[in-house]
Amino acid sequence: MTSHLHLSAAVACALALVACDAQSPTPKGPTDAPPIEASPLTLSLAAAPAAPGTVALDVNYLHKVNHAAPRMMELYVRHADGWTFQGAEPLTATTAAGKELVVQDQGGGLLRVIVYASGNTATLASGGLARLTFTAPDKASGTVSLESRMPIFAPAEANEGLLLGPPLTLSPGQGAP
C-alpha cells in the first residue's frame, strides 16, 4: 500500500508539473520565429525580419517529448550562390541554456553553425537557436537548406527521431513583420 501511495504522489506531482508547463506561454521575443510548437520538424528554417538588400533567417529547434534533449549542436547550412554571410546572433534557446553560438563560413555557400558551452551541460529547450544574415546582390532570391550531416546533436541519443525542415527560398528584405 505504501508503494502505491508513493507512486500516486509521484504521478500527481508529475501531472501538476505538466499542467503548469501547458499553462505557461512559450516566451516569444522579437528575435523568435512564429510558433514552432505545432511543427513535426526538429530543426527548421524560418524567414526573419531583414533590411533591404539583406536576407535573414532563423534556425529553430523543437524538442520532442520522450526524446533526449541536446546539449550541443553542429549543423551545416547551405545558402544561395552569390549571397555573402554577414553575421549571426544567438536566439532565445541558445542564450537561455547559457550556450555560445559560433558560425564558420566554410566557403562554397556552406556555413557550419555550432551551439555549445565548454562550462555547462545544460540542455537546449525548444525555440530559436540562431539568426543568420546575408547580403544578396541585385535583389536576388535564393534558397537555404539544412544539410543532413549526422550527428547534429550531442549526446548522440538526441538525434533519434530528428527531422530536418525543407529548404527555404527568400528574397532580400523579405521576412516576418
pTM of the model: 0.76
Q: Which residues pair with 39 in a beta bridge?
A: none
Whether the pLDDT of residue 24 is over 50: the answer is: no
For the residues 5-34, what does the mean pLDDT come to?
35
What are the domain boundaries of the chain? Answer: 30-170
What DSSP character marks residue 20?
H
Q: What cell numbers appear for 104 in the block? A: 564558420
Architecture of the domain whose range is 30-170: Sandwich (2.60)
pLDDT in tens, 115-149: 999 999 999 999 999 999 999 887 778 999 999 99
CB 82 within 8 A of CB 140: yes
